Amino acid sequence: MGIILDVTDLHIEFHDHDEPETVVEDFDLMLEEGEIVGIVGESGSGKSMSALAIAGLLNRHALKKTGRIMFNGDDLLTCDRATLRSYQGDEISMIFQEPMTSLNPVKRIGWQVEESLFIHHPDIDKKERKKRAIEMLKAVGLNDAENIYYMHPHELSGGMRQRVMIAAAMIGNPKILIADEPTTALDVTVQAQIVELLKKINKERGTSIIFISHDLSLVSQLCERVIVMQKGNIVESGKTSRVFSNPTNTYTKKLIAAIPKIDIGE
């Protein structure tokens, strides 16, 4: 299997104040084709910043990024805007914690699922777009796809909305799906269903997944490999079963000790 993404020495700092603030330091990630990697760590440890940089969504003015994010022979930190845009939402897509804020409340579900096809594949006509959107909605477990296609976000439950987000992220058949706390706003049963759905997508389509979560149990169920972050740095990484059963880093030990019982799903 090949390497699909190679991040080296990623460094992110904010320049909002007099003193620059480093939020990610020396971040490295070599993602294999079809691999699922978890990122865990306390709030503010730099998980989202790293993920947003990889997704090409960190484009603020008062911000400095250095290092390399190699994808398909391009460095996403230095390539031109057109190249970056051609990957965003098509080859590399991202889903977030709260689907209600990521979905547009006034647009129909069908429109939102099709949007990236519309942007990236203008050659695909309206009829074919709709066909693919309905297939995708079914593939994420929304069986009533023909009706859901015409609904608005408020007509769906939180779990259904997260499935819609996943459908929208997956319609271009991305090589990499980045999921930043995709289950945090959902109840436990629905969380498990979303994790199963991500597993299914990974198995059937070979999509590589970066899964960010505070829930170490979900991470151990889904991810073969895990990265532990603290204060912008990777403090430990390795096979999930090893890291969670036999952590070498003091911070990882604390993180695990804070969980009442963790199920190392093998």
Ligand X SMILES: Nc1ncnc2c1ncn2[C@@H]1O[C@H](COP(=O)(O)OP(=O)(O)OP(=O)(O)O)[C@@H](O)[C@H]1O
* Binding residues vs ligand X (CB under 6 A): 14, 16, 21, 23, 41, 43-49
Q: Which run of H or of E encompasses 115?
A: helix 109-120
In DSSP notation, 67-106 reads EEEEETTEETTTS-HHHHHHHBTTTEEEE-S-HHHHS-TT
The torsion angles phi and psi of 25, rounded to 5 degrees, stand at -135, 130
Minimum CB separation of residue 117 from Mg ion in Å reads: 28
**Sequence-distant (≥ 6) Cβ neighbours of residue 115 within 8 angstroms:** 168
- 3-state secondary structure string, 145-165? HHHHCCCCHHHCCHHHHHHHH
Min dist. Cβ of residue 214 to ligand X (A)? 6
Q: Give me the residues that bind Mg ion (CB under 5 A), please.
A: 48
Cβ proximity to ligand X: between 14 and 111 the closer is: 14
CA dist 240 and 226 (Å) reads 5
Q: How far is the CB of 50 from ligand X (least distance, A)?
A: 7
* Smaller CB separation from ligand X, 45 or 191: 45
Minimum CB–partner distance for residue 180 and Mg ion (Å): 6
Residue 67 contacts which entry, ligand X, Mg ion, none (Cβ below 5-8 A, type-dependent): none
User: Residue 153 half-sphere exposure, CB side, CA atoms within 13 Å?
Assistant: 20
| Cα–Cα distance for residue pair 246/49, rounded to 1 Å | 28
Q: Which is nearer to Mg ion, 48 or 220 (CB)?
A: 48
Smallest distance from ligand X to CB 23, Å: 4
Nearest CB to ligand X, comparing residues 43 and 189: 43
Three-state SS at 217 = helix
Q: How far is the CB of 43 from ligand X (least distance, A)?
A: 3
Choose the one of Mg ion, ligand X, none that binds residue 111, judging by a C-beta under 5 to 8 angstroms depending on kind.
Answer: none
Residue 174 contact partner, candidates Mg ion, ligand X, none, CB within 5 to 8 A by sort of partner: none
Q: How far apart are CA 89 and CA 119, in angstroms?
A: 9
Residue whose CB is less far from Mg ion, 48 or 240: 48
Amino acid in the structure at residue 134: I
Q: Please identify, using beta-carbon distances, which residue of 23 and 55 lies nearer to ligand X.
A: 23
Q: Which partner from the list Mg ion, ligand X, none does 14 bind, CB cut-off 5 to 8 Å by kind?
A: ligand X
